[in-house]
Structure 1
Amino acid sequence: MRKKIYVGSFILLIFLLIGGMYYSLPYYVSKPGMAKELAPIITVDDGYQEKGNFMLTTVRMGRANIYSYLEAKMRKYEEIYPIEMILNKEETEEEYNVRQLHLMAASKLNAIEVAYRRAGLPVQYNYKGIYVMQVFPGMPADGILQAGDRIFKIDGKSFSSSEKFISYVGKKHAGDHVTLTFTRKNTEKTAKLTLKPLKQDPKRAGIGITLVDDKEIVVKPNVKVKTNDIGGPSAGLMFTLEIYNQLTKEDFTKGYQIAGTGTMDAAGNVGPIGGIEQKIVAADKAGAEIFFAPNEKGAKDSNYRAAVKTARDINTKMKIIPVDTFNEAVEYLKKLPKKK
Structure 2
Amino acid sequence: MRRKIYIGASIFIAVLMVAGVFLSLPYYVSKPGMAKELEPIVQVENGYEAEGSFMLTTIRMGRANIYSYLQAKLFDYEEIYPLDAILHETETQEEYNARQLHMMSGSKQNAIGVAYNRAGFSIEYKYNGVYVVQVIPEMPADGKLLPGDRVIKVDDQQFSSSEEFIKYVGGKKANEEVILTIKRKNKTKKVKIIVQPFKDDSNKVGIGITLVDDKEIITNPKVTVNTDEIGGPSAGLMFTLEIYNQLMEEDFTRGYRIAGTGTIDSKGNVGPIGGIDQKVVAADKAGAEIFFAPNEKGKSGSNYRVAVKTARDIDTKMKIVPVDVFDDAVNYLQKLPKKER
State how 1:205-216 maps to structure 2 within 5 Å: 205-216=205-216
Q: Which 5+ residue runs of structure 2 have no aligned equivalent?
A: none
Shift of 1:173: 4.3
How far apart, in 2, do the equivalents of 1:326 and 1:57 lie? 17
Deviation at 1:271, TM superposition (A): 0.9
- Give, in whole Å, the separation in 1 of the partners of 2:197 and 2:70: 44
1:1-340 equivalence runs, <5 A: 1-340=1-340
Of 177-186 and 20-29, the range deviating more from structure 2: 177-186
Q: Secondary structure of 1:336's partner?
A: coil
Corresponding residue SS for 1:29: strand
* Bigger mean CA offset, 200-209 vs 328-337: 200-209
* SS of residue in 1 equivalent to 2:137: coil
Sequence identity percentage? 66
After superposition, give the CA deviation of every residue in 1:239-294 in whole Å (9 maximum; x if it has no partner). Answer: 00000000001111111111000011111111111110100000011111111111
Quote how far apart the aligned CAs of 1:94 are: 1.2
Cα-Cα RMSD = 1.3
Cα deviations across residues 307-332 of structure 1 (Å, max 9, x unaligned)? Answer: 11111111111111111111111111
Q: So what's the TM-score if we normalise by structure 1?
A: 0.97
Distance in 1 between residues matched to 2:169 and 2:265, nearest whole Å: 27
Distance apart, 1:177 and its partner CA: 3.1
In 1: Cα distance, 2:164 partner to 2:328 partner: 35
Measured after TM superposition, the shift of residue 171 of structure 1 is 3.1
Query: How much has 1:191 moved relative to structure 2?
Result: 2.3
TM-score of the pair, normalised by structure 2: 0.97
**Counterpart secondary structure, 1:279:** helix
SS of equivalent to 1:267: coil
Distance verdict in 2 for CA 1:253–1:166, change over 3 Å: same
Tell me how far 1:201 sits from its aligned partner.
Answer: 4.1
Matched residues, number:
340
Deviation of 1:188 after TM superposition, in Å, equals 2.3
For 2:96 and 2:85, locate their aligned partners in 1 and report how far apart those are by CA, in whole Å. 12
Aligned equivalents of 1:193, 1:278: Cα separation in 2: 44
Moved more, 209-218 or 73-82: 209-218
Please tell me whether the aligned partners of residues 173 and 204 of structure 1 are also in contact (alpha carbons under 8 angstroms). Answer: no
Q: Quick one: distance in 1 between partners of 2:166 and 2:272?
A: 28
Note the alpha carbon deviations across 1:113-135, whole angstroms, 9 max, x for none. 11001111010011111111111
Structure 1 residues 170, 299: closer, same or farther in 2, change over 3 A?
Answer: farther
Contact 1:197-1:204 at 8 Å conserved across structures: yes
Measured in 1, the distance between the counterparts of 2:259 and 2:26 equals 32
Which is further off, 141-150 or 193-202?
193-202
For 1:119, the aligned partner's letter is A
State the 1:105 CA deviation. 1.2
Tell me, in whole angstroms, the C-alpha distance in 2 between the residues paired with 1:59 and 1:201: 40
Question: What secondary structure does 1:81 align onto?
Answer: strand
> CA 1:15–1:310 in 2, change beyond 3 Å: closer, same or farther?
same
Question: Per the alignment, do residues 8 and 85 of structure 1 end up closer, same or farther by CA in structure 2, a change over 3 Å counting?
Answer: same
Runs of at least 5 residues in structure 1 that lack an aligned partner in the other structure: none
